[in-house]
A = this chain, B = another copy of it.
């Protein structure tokens, strides 16, 4: 059973998940490439993943068999598990609980050679809609407090499989990063009576210099003080605290916003490793006046060194205004059809 432990110095929670471990002496340096040999996410290999939680299936296909467009399965090596009791308790002067939660994988397409930006806006809309459905479903488990949706692309971003997928980890406590953001936002709201990110959207649209993409309901921009070169955030222009309140027409525009932004980043940086994370409100909360959900996209082209770990400062060698101007100027066609199938030898993320 994984264990949640809290570090009293930083108040950060850590998951000790030794089932995922090799023996200590088997640890190797982090420069290993992605495994290529066999892909458990490809169509035809459905028996190599745990049983599916959801699948968008073609008529006549069988559960856990081929014939699907999108598939959600439990992670085979979960950081947290659904079965069991939380059993919160002290441990000497420290605090721990059992690692209860969920860890799911959203396999975005059956085709191994495609990346998220190769999918049509309709396919990406389905991915974003499944994100919503999974949050709504898991929120019903009253032991659980928060759902973090994220995507790792490329070995430098922590991906261990190449086949395009997203992940959802649901935790029994609100994560420190989100909790801190909510405290800051609440503090801002108490003083001004306005949502911080609503103010930022207004400021960015007025200034224009850091805008990457602008639609009817969403905007993509490089933050004023980004941690990483070409970091870009996407958020609803109107105030929305909870991702699952997304309407279907909004999901369609968000798919275009996400695909466009990622295509621009891939073009600018020659298909870099990247992560994106969706920050939304905790489970079981009503609409919040002070919190605003958003997607953070971070290209992983710079290494994090001792100064960043020690201080929380980041040294960014590209001004956000330069990065945004560069991304704005790149022309992409997000509504294009799926690319022609390539042979594995030409896979872009290999």
Contacts and interface: CB of A to CB of B under 8 A. Distances in A.
A303 B156 contact: yes
A203 B93 contact: yes
A61 interface: no
Contacts of A197: 9
Contact of A17 (B94, B158, B317): B317
Interface stretch (A134-142, A221-229, A243-251): A221-229
A289 interface: no
Contacts of A157: 303, 305-306
Interface residues of A, number: 102
Contacts of A17: 315-317
B307 A226 contact: no
Contact of A310 (B91, B177, B206): B177
Centre residue among A20, A27, A150, A276 by max chain B CB count within 10 A: A27
Nearest to A99: B315
Contact of A30 (B11, B156, B278, B326): B156
Contacts of A158: 303-306, 308
A270 interface: yes
A224 B151 contact: no
Interface stretch (A44-52, A111-119, A125-133, A180-188): A180-188
Contacts of A176: 311-313
A35 to B, nearest CB: 14
Contacts of A21: 229, 317-318
Nearest to A32: B303
A302 B26 CA distance: 13
A148 B24 contact: no
Given A156-B30, A301-B28, A309 B18 contact: no
A348 interface: no
Nearest to A12: B312
Contacts of A29: 154, 156, 270, 272-273, 301
A206 B306 CA distance: 31
Contact of A320 (B16, B92, B169): B16
Nearest to A272: B29
Given A15-B315, A25-B268, A305-B152, A6 B310 contact: no
A188 B296 CA distance: 33
A7 B224 contact: yes
Contacts of A314: 12, 14-15
A148 to B, nearest CB: 5
Interface of A: 5-18, 20-22, 24-25, 27-31, 79, 91-94, 146, 148, 150-152, 154-159, 167, 169, 171, 175-178, 180-181, 184-185, 188, 196-197, 199-200, 203, 206-207, 223-227, 229-230, 268-270, 272-273, 275-279, 296, 298, 300-320, 322-323, 326
7 contacts: A24-B268, A27-B230, A27-B272, A31-B155, A91-B224, A92-B207, A296-B309
Given A18-B322, A169-B313, A175-B312, 18 more contacts: A8-B184, A12-B225, A13-B312, A18-B317, A27-B268, A29-B270, A29-B301, A30-B156, A31-B31, A91-B224, A92-B207, A94-B224, A150-B305, A152-B305, A156-B303, A175-B310, A275-B309, A277-B306
